[in-house]
Amino acid sequence: MRVGVEEDRCCGSGQCVLLAPEVFDQREDDGTVVLLDAAPPEALHGDVRESAALCPGAAIRVEEA
Protein backbone atom coordinates (compact mmCIF):
# COMPACT_ATOMS: atom_id res chain seq x y z
CA MET A 1 0.00 0.00 0.00
CA ARG A 2 1.12 3.54 -0.82
CA VAL A 3 -0.54 6.51 0.83
CA GLY A 4 -0.57 10.12 -0.31
CA VAL A 5 -2.27 13.27 0.87
CA GLU A 6 -3.43 16.42 -0.88
CA GLU A 7 -2.91 19.11 1.73
CA ASP A 8 -4.94 21.68 -0.19
CA ARG A 9 -8.04 19.44 0.07
CA CYS A 10 -7.68 18.86 3.82
CA CYS A 11 -10.30 20.56 5.99
CA GLY A 12 -8.62 19.61 9.27
CA SER A 13 -11.34 17.36 10.68
CA GLY A 14 -8.73 15.04 12.22
CA GLN A 15 -10.56 11.77 11.54
CA CYS A 16 -7.44 10.30 9.96
CA VAL A 17 -5.35 11.07 13.05
CA LEU A 18 -7.92 9.45 15.32
CA LEU A 19 -8.08 6.30 13.18
CA ALA A 20 -4.42 5.92 12.22
CA PRO A 21 -2.12 8.08 14.39
CA GLU A 22 0.90 6.06 13.27
CA VAL A 23 0.29 7.20 9.68
CA PHE A 24 -1.27 10.68 9.97
CA ASP A 25 -0.76 13.77 12.10
CA GLN A 26 -1.94 17.38 11.91
CA ARG A 27 -0.04 20.64 11.81
CA GLU A 28 -0.63 22.60 14.97
CA ASP A 29 -1.05 25.96 13.25
CA ASP A 30 -3.89 25.06 10.87
CA GLY A 31 -4.85 21.40 11.42
CA THR A 32 -3.76 20.30 7.96
CA VAL A 33 -2.91 16.63 7.58
CA VAL A 34 0.72 15.52 7.76
CA LEU A 35 1.66 12.13 6.31
CA LEU A 36 3.98 10.24 8.65
CA ASP A 37 4.24 6.93 6.76
CA ALA A 38 3.63 6.64 3.02
CA ALA A 39 4.07 2.84 3.13
CA PRO A 40 2.43 1.69 6.37
CA PRO A 41 2.69 -1.91 7.57
CA GLU A 42 -0.08 -4.31 6.66
CA ALA A 43 -1.49 -4.25 10.18
CA LEU A 44 -2.52 -0.60 9.59
CA HIS A 45 -4.02 -0.98 6.10
CA GLY A 46 -7.60 -1.29 7.36
CA ASP A 47 -7.29 1.88 9.45
CA VAL A 48 -5.75 3.77 6.51
CA ARG A 49 -8.54 2.65 4.16
CA GLU A 50 -11.14 3.75 6.70
CA SER A 51 -9.36 7.10 7.13
CA ALA A 52 -9.51 7.67 3.37
CA ALA A 53 -13.17 6.66 3.21
CA LEU A 54 -14.19 8.98 6.07
CA CYS A 55 -12.09 11.99 5.02
CA PRO A 56 -14.60 14.79 4.35
CA GLY A 57 -12.20 16.58 1.98
CA ALA A 58 -11.15 13.41 0.12
CA ALA A 59 -7.57 14.42 0.84
CA ILE A 60 -6.18 10.91 1.31
CA ARG A 61 -5.13 8.73 -1.63
CA VAL A 62 -4.59 5.00 -1.19
CA GLU A 63 -2.91 2.89 -3.84
CA GLU A 64 -2.98 -0.85 -3.33
CA ALA A 65 0.22 -2.67 -4.24
**Segments of the chain with pLDDT less than 70:** none
Nearest to 5 by CA among 53, 50, 58: 58
Q: Determine the pLDDT at residue 65.
A: 79
Give the CATH number for residue 44: 3.30.70.20
pTM of the full predicted structure? 0.95
Residue 59 to residue 49: CA distance in whole angstroms: 12
Residue range(s) defining the domain that contains residue 26: 2-63
Number of domains into which the chain is organized: 1
